[in-house]
Amino acid sequence: MFVKPTFADDAAIEQAVAILRSGGLVAFPTETVYGLGADARNPNAVKKIFTAKGRPSDHPLIVHLPDGSHLDKWANDIPESARKLADRLWPGPLTIILKKKSDVLSLVTGGQDTVGLRVPANDVAQKLIKRFGDGIAAPSANRFKRISPTRAEHVADELTGFVDMILDGGPCQVGVESTIVDLSTSIPKILRPGQVLQSELEELLGIEFQPAIEDVNLDRSDIRAPGMMQMHYAPLTLARLCESKDLQEAINEQTSAALKVGLLTYDYDNVHDNIPHIQLSNKANDYARDMYNALRKLDQMDLDVILIEHPPETETWRAVNDRLMKATHQNKECSGSK
Ligand code: TXA
Ligand code: MG
């Protein structure tokens, strides 16, 4: 049965709350990406998330809270730094990892003694969680290892049959998943870059983070965040990252081998007949907002290869580059690129 997204007015939100209370799954918009929500206190409901996503059960879920005052219901040993970030950056695209309270379901935390918490800023998400009144466990509403959904129809395409209701709140404004900061040990770490920048966190907390973990080996058993695995957020079509200066040659190479090429660029604007080309903004936040939708569109065009122009390696582009690296990692980069 195809689940048609429901416009997220007050009546729809009431219906969504009733579904959550009865142990069902509701997909809802957040400012980052759409989430697949279940009552975080109900083990049967949480189990349905793993089935719907096809995600291994040892991968932890983020619990979405109505506001920062709920922190103490979910976390123990909360450091001052966490309170400060919650106070200054919630609601917003930031997830904080803390020691969990003993009654937090281990199903939610993937068996770990920590829990990821976030208060999303999106209006619909806020209304839904406030009306629900407690934590909603919600990963991104995509199948495991696929691109996160930034529109209600992306969720319908991927999770029909697994979700009881899809709340349509329009396109997500941030477009990439939240920044994840781990404050559960004495050494704070950023586990996933997002719109909240490392420099912003460092300034607020008056500390310096360790460099991000690069090249995490897939065989390691201590990978905590699936977002840290190399193959993630991937389109089904082969995708390659190209430096701007190599793009023209790469296009020529592919087309002379009779391969169907698509382009995703932010600066390169040469027009080629018969080559699908999505040109996104040269501003990082605007690019991020549209990136997953663009990758999905290109992915549906029956192409042999998507060539992606490598954005600048500056801090504001870090989240975008992180996701693009993961979308292209196992594929050869264009010649001449790093
Ligand atoms: O923006 C977002 O964070 C979106 C929206 C829906 O809120 N959610 C999202 O969830 O991206 P998900 O499950 O696709 O990614 C959450 C990441 C996962 O990589 C998970 O492993 C990590 O957060 N995570 C959750 N709890 C954790 C914990 N206790 N320790 C380490 N990583 C954790
Ligand atoms: Mg995800």
Residue 191 has pLDDT above 60, yes or no: yes
Residue 278 has pLDDT above 50, yes or no: yes
Mean pLDDT across the stretch 224-247? 75
Q: How confident is the model at residue 292 (pLDDT cuts 50, 70, 90)?
A: very high
Cα of 232 vs centre of ligand 2, distance in Å, is: 9
* Ligand 1, pocket-test mutation among 34, 62, 167, most atoms within 8 A of CB: 62
Residue 59 has pLDDT above 80, yes or no: yes
Q: Is the CB of 59 under 6 A from ligand 1?
A: yes
Q: How confident is the model at residue 319 (pLDDT cuts 50, 70, 90)?
A: very high
pLDDT at 232: 56
pLDDT at 218: 38
Total-model pTM: 0.94
pLDDT at 21: 98
Mean pLDDT across the stretch 244-255? 95
Mean pLDDT across the stretch 194-221? 76
Cα of 239 vs centre of ligand 1, distance in Å, is: 24
For the chain, the average pLDDT equals 92
Residue 25 has pLDDT above 90, yes or no: yes
Query: How would you label 247-257 residue by residue, b for 16+ Cβ within 10 Å and e otherwise?
Result: beebbeebeee
Q: Is the CB of 24 under 6 A from ligand 1?
A: no
* Tens-place pLDDT, residues 151-173: 999 999 999 899 999 999 999 99
Assigned token pair, 65: 């809270």
Q: Are 287 and 174 in contact (CB under 8 A)?
A: no
Q: Is the CB of 92 under 6 A from ligand 1?
A: no
pLDDT at 216: 41
Task: Give, for 181, the enclosing helix (H) or strand (E).
Answer: strand 179-182
Q: Is the CB of 227 under 6 A from ligand 1?
A: yes
Residue 262 has pLDDT above 80, yes or no: yes
Q: Which ligand is nearest to the CA of 64?
A: 1
Residue 212 has pLDDT above 90, yes or no: no
pLDDT more than 70, % of the chain:
91
Q: How confident is the model at residue 213 (pLDDT cuts 50, 70, 90)?
A: low
* Tens-place pLDDT, residues 73-111: 999 999 999 999 999 999 999 999 999 999 999 999 999
Q: Is the CB of 333 under 6 A from ligand 1?
A: no
Q: Is the CB of 98 under 6 A from ligand 1?
A: no
Cα of 148 vs centre of ligand 2, distance in Å, is: 6
Residue 217 has pLDDT above 50, yes or no: no
Give nearest CA residue, ligand 1 atom 23. Answer: 225
pLDDT at 333: 73
User: Could you give the 3-state DSSP secondary structure of residue 118?
Assistant: strand
Which is higher by pLDDT, 19 or 337? 19
Q: Is the CB of 177 under 6 A from ligand 1?
A: yes
Cα of 138 vs centre of ligand 1, distance in Å, is: 8
Residue 65 has pLDDT above 90, yes or no: yes
Mean pLDDT across the stretch 262-279? 93
For residue 338, count other CB atoms closer than 10 A to its CB. 7
Cα of 274 vs centre of ligand 2, distance in Å, is: 33
pLDDT at 222: 46
Cα of 35 vs centre of ligand 1, distance in Å, is: 10
Residue 236 has pLDDT above 90, yes or no: no
pLDDT at 167: 98
Q: Is the CB of 205 under 6 A from ligand 1?
A: no
Q: Are 188 and 114 in contact (CB under 8 A)?
A: no
Q: Is the CB of 82 under 6 A from ligand 1?
A: no
Cα of 140 vs centre of ligand 2, distance in Å, is: 4
* Ligand 1, pocket-test mutation among 28, 122, 126, 180, most atoms within 8 A of CB: 180
Conformation bin of residue 31: beta by default, left when phi > 0, alpha when psi is -120 to 50 = alpha
pLDDT at 335: 54
pLDDT at 1: 57
Residue 233 has pLDDT above 70, yes or no: no
Task: Give, for 284, the enclosing helix (H) or strand (E).
Answer: helix 284-299
pLDDT at 214: 52
Task: Give me the half-sphere count of Cα atoms (radius 13 Å) on the Cβ side of residue 170.
Answer: 8
Mean pLDDT across the stretch 14-28? 98
Cα of 115 vs centre of ligand 1, distance in Å, is: 10
Residue 309 has pLDDT above 60, yes or no: yes
pLDDT at 329: 74
